[in-house]
Amino acid sequence: MIRVFLIGASPLARAALQNRLKAQSVKIVGSAAAIDALGSDLSDTQADVLLVDVAGESPEAIMESLADSDLAAEIPIVVLTEAASPAASAQALQAGIRAILPSEVSTDQLAAALQGAAAGLVVLHPAEIPAVYPAASPASHPLAELPEPLTRREREVLQMLAAGLANKEIAARLNISDHTAKFHVAAILGKLGAATRTEAVALGIRRGLVLL
């Protein structure tokens, strides 16, 4: 049974989500109208996943608020949104949010995404992939060979970036300092010619450096 804390501005929408999920081995253990209204409620419920329903609100504002908070380091976050921009989605994933799904996602898909997020996976709906990973589409010409190949450790870190891990999580997994993890991420971006972590993952996928 996955324990879920629900955030959504509309009480009716929160109730509808709770009704949808009650037959899916998902238990809503708490709810709030907004992120800043959480207080100590979240930790008190021992929730496994935080489900944020952005319907009827500004997706960019909510995603930015989530990205700026430390919540993603404390609990897996799944976001339901009607129309987030690729930039907002990319920023959210870089901040450690585990799943971005359209509001009309099926109940089975939502439950599967919550299960995946609780297990530490990053989940994307097929409709979101072209927007978040535009470079993942077939290239019109082959990629040039990298001037300097990634080291074995950098490949490990790149795989963790693809899983949505933040620098602190990477450092903990590899038993290295946060500074060293940040150094590896910077080296990966430099070698791949990427401007962001999301672009680095997309280029890693194209080059066969990331296992899907």
- The answer to whether residues 93 and 18 belong to one domain is yes
Does residue 211 lie in a domain region?
A: no
**Model confidence at 23: pLDDT above 90:** no
Domain tally, the chain: 2
Residue 127 has pLDDT above 80, yes or no: no
Q: Is the pLDDT of residue 126 over 60?
A: yes
Pair 154, 124: CB distance under 8 Å: no
Mean pLDDT along residues 116-131? 76
The answer to whether residue 136 scores a pLDDT higher than 50 is no
Q: Which two tokens stand for residue 65?
A: 């608020």
Point out the least confidently predicted range of 50-64, 81-95, 171-185.
81-95
pLDDT at 150: 93
* CATH number (domain holding residue 197): 1.10.10.10
H/E element, 26: strand 26-32
Whether residue 146 is found in the same domain as residue 125: no
- Between 152 and 44, the higher pLDDT residue: 152
Note whether residue 53 is domain-resident: yes
* The pair of three-digit structure tokens given for residue 209, joined into one six-digit string: 């450096």
What's the rounded mean pLDDT across residues 80-102? 74
Is the same domain home to 112 and 10?
yes
Provide the pLDDT confidence category of residue 130 given band limits of 50, 70 and 90: low
Distances in Å between the Cα of 64 and the Cα atoms of 8, 51, 83, 132 are 16, 16, 14, 16
- Which residues have CB under 8 Å from 181's CB, separation 6+? 157, 167, 168, 170, 171, 174
Question: Of 132, 161, 196, which marks where a domain is finished?
Answer: 132
Helix (H, G, I), strand (E, B), or coil: what is residue 140? coil
Asked if 95 and 193 sit in the same domain, the reply is no
The parent domain of residue 78 ranges over 2-132
Structure-token pair, residue 75: 């609990």
Q: What is the pLDDT of residue 140?
A: 47
**Of 132, 148, 176, which one is at a domain's C-terminal end?**
132
CA–CA distance, 137 with 108 (Å, rounded to integer): 27
For the whole model, what pTM was predicted? Answer: 0.59
